[in-house]
């Protein structure tokens, strides 16, 4: 079969065009790759063949960005337009939220917005730390290396950007280019969340199953307050099979996109969600809400209730109390003048009729000893993890840098006494392995994997404001005593 004709058949079968549109559609494809059709190769995706054809005919430059832009333009032709996508989604929502999200996610995989092939490259495994916490480790290999031309273009960009950021609604259908994300095949579901217009889309380089993003349709800064909890409940009512959570709204403890209000969610049960309450906390004013301290490396208060209004009200009071809480002994300080240092990472999921809200206490203070953050991965862990601890990692899924794939291979060679190019930064860590383990070719990978689990446990312990030791326990009790007194 001819290549252009085969892709036209695919686009028509996907429902973005009808048979009557065939000539028009073929001309749209030819405008992008050249007029003459060629024989299709049976074993390769049609779009990859079309991109190669465009490069061969010098319709586009042979670089990462130009290929990505054309890839997304072609897939856009095989994707229903936004209004049709939204119509189908909401029609399916009338039957069940799962049917709607199943359909929308498959659409985003089929049209290559969710980069399934790239995501499959990630290294993923589970483990249990010596502290007894189940954790998930991922080494992120899915995001492609930056195109040098794109880096240069971004460095010289001046004036107001369009779209303003990678989360803005204006990305839907945006062509992209050097220094700009290609988004021709992006589709965003319009939703009403907490009485405001929001959008719902999937993440192209997903960190877990059906990793999605909820975004305010206006470019406004992130904020954690009562409205946040109202919004999370509203999302859970509409999509009860997904969890949803927000990164904190402060630097160091927050995510990388503080300028645009958004949440993340998806169909995944994280280790923190499975962790048990180790100490119940009673709020007599809220008899319908079960509360407690969670057995977790970070400092997590959990609220459980079928009464979402009580949950929101109590959660809001806890956030306000923490916002102004000081504990000088443990370097916990709420304000420097007008500068706020406290916030929470709020995460919500459902268990039948019950709403489960985790409020993870965060503090972004720095010190001379810890210039990147007192409650941030400490320096001896930077050889593995130096970046902020955001929402996904708070819940127990490590997102580790791609450099570790090759570096850890060199660590294994060192442990086996082979010639290696192990970075000096890993030496002390690797020597610990040698001292504690009898290492063989059969167990070296297991030893290194367990080492990563232990590092991640320690990373989370660093980020916890009340440590899992006697002093931290005392800190918890002082905080809870003040909190329950203030609320009840």
Domain count, the chain: 2
What percent of the chain lies above the pLDDT cut of 70?
97
What pLDDT was estimated at residue 255?
77
Angle in degrees, CA 121, 208, 409, rounded to 5: 35
- At 353 the pLDDT is 97
- Per-residue pLDDT tens over the stretch 287-299: 999 999 999 999 9
Shared domain check, 243 and 153: yes
| Predicted confidence (pLDDT) per residue in 370-384, tens digit | 999 999 999 999 999
49 and 126 belong to one structural domain: no
> What is the rounded distance in angstroms from the CA atom of residue 484 to the CA atom of residue 488?
6
User: 26 with 154, same domain?
Assistant: no
Mean pLDDT of 393-402: 96
Domain membership of residue 254 (yes or no) is yes
Looking at the domain assignment, is residue 326 inside a domain?
yes
- Domain membership of residue 5 (yes or no) is yes
51 and 127 share one domain: no
Let me know whether 133 and 44 are in one domain.
no
pLDDT tops 70 at residue 152: no
Instruction: Assign 24 a pLDDT band (cuts: 50, 70, 90).
Output: very high
Q: Is 94 a residue whose pLDDT tops 60?
A: yes
- Tell me whether residue 16 is in a domain: yes
Residue 193 lies in a domain: yes
For range 375-404, the mean pLDDT:
96
Does the residue 434 lie in any domain?
no
Q: Are residues 233 and 124 in the same domain?
A: yes
Q: What global pTM score does this model have?
A: 0.94
The tens digit of pLDDT for each residue in 335-370 reads 999 999 999 999 999 999 999 999 999 999 999 999
Claim to verify: residue 159 and residue 33 sit in the same structural domain: no
pLDDT for res 144: 66
* pLDDT above 90: percentage of residues in the chain: 93
* Mean pLDDT within 122-134: 97
Looking at residues 228-257, what average pLDDT do you find?
A: 95
The pLDDT, as a whole number, for residue 146 is 59
The pLDDT of 85-92, averaged and rounded, is: 98
**Within a domain: 457:** no
What pLDDT shows up at residue 142? 86
Q: 156 and 51 share a domain?
A: no
Domain assignment present for 252: yes
Shared domain for 262 and 340, answered yes or no, is yes
Same domain flag for 242 and 345:
yes
Considering the domain architecture, whether residues 53 and 123 belong to the same structural domain is answered as no
Q: Which domain holds residue 30?
A: 1-59
Same domain, 39 and 153: no
The mean pLDDT value for 313-322 works out to 98
Q: What is the mean pLDDT of residues 262-286?
A: 97
- pLDDT above 60 (res 155): no
Domain boundary among 14, 44, 59: 59
* pLDDT of the residue at 159: 66
**Mean pLDDT score of the chain, rounded to an integer?**
95
Residues 421-441: tens digit of each pLDDT: 999 999 999 999 999 999 999
């Amino acid at each position: 079969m001819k290549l252009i004709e085969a892709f036209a058949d695919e686009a028509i079968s996907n429902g973005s065009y009808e048979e009557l549109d065939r000539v028009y559609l073929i001309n749209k494809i030819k405008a992008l790759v050249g007029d003459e059709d060629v024989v299709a190769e049976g074993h390769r995706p049609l779009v990859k063949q079309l991109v190669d054809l465009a490069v061969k005919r010098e319709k586009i430059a042979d670089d990462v960005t130009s290929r990505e832009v054309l890839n997304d333009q072609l897939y856009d032709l095989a994707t229903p337009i936004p209004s049709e996508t939204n119509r189908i989604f909401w029609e399916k929502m009338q039957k069940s939220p799962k049917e709607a999200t199943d359909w929308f996610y498959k659409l985003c995989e089929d049209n290559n917005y969710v980069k399934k092939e790239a995501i499959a490259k990630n290294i993923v495994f589970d483990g249990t730390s010596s502290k007894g916490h189940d954790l998930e480790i991922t080494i992120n290999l899915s995001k492609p290396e930056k195109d040098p031309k794109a880096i240069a273009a971004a460095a010289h960009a001046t004036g107001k950007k369009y779209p303003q950021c990678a989360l803005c609604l204006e990305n839907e259908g945006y062509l992209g280019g050097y220094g700009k994300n290609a988004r021709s095949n992006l589709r965003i579901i319009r939703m009403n969340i907490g009485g405001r217009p929001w959008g719902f889309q999937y993440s192209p380089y997903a960190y877990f199953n059906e990793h999605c993003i909820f975004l305010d349709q206006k470019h406004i800064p992130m904020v954690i307050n009562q409205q946040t909890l109202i919004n999370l409940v509203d999302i859970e009512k509409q999509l009860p099979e997904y969890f949803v959570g927000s990164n904190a709204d402060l630097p160091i403890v927050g995510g990388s996109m503080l300028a645009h209000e958004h949440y993340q969610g998806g169909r995944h049960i994280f280790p923190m969600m499975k962790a048990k309450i180790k100490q119940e906390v009673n709020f007599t004013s809220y008899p319908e809400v079960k509360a407690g301290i969670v057995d977790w490396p970070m400092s997590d208060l959990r609220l459980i209730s079928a009464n979402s209004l009580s949950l929101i009200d109590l959660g809001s009071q806890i956030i306000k109390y923490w916002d102004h809480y000081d504990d000088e002994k443990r370097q916990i300080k709420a304000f420097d003048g007008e500068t706020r240092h406290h916030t929470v990472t709020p995460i919500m999921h459902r268990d039948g009729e019950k709403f489960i809200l985790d409020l993870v206490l965060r503090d972004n203070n720095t010190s001379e000893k810890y210039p990147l953050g007192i409650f941030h991965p400490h320096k001896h862990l930077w050889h593995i993890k130096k970046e902020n601890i955001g929402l996904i990692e708070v819940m127990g899924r490590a997102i580790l840098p791609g450099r570790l794939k090759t570096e850890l291979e060199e660590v294994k060679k060192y442990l086996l006494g082979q010639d290696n190019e192990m970075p000096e930064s890993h030496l002390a860590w690797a020597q610990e392995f040698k001292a504690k383990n009898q290492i063989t070719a059969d167990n070296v990978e297991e030893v290194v994997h367990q080492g990563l689990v232990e590092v991640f446990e320690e990373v989370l312990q660093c980020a916890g404001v009340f440590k899992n030791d006697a002093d931290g326990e005392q800190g918890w009790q002082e905080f809870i005593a003040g909190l329950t007194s203030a609320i009840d």
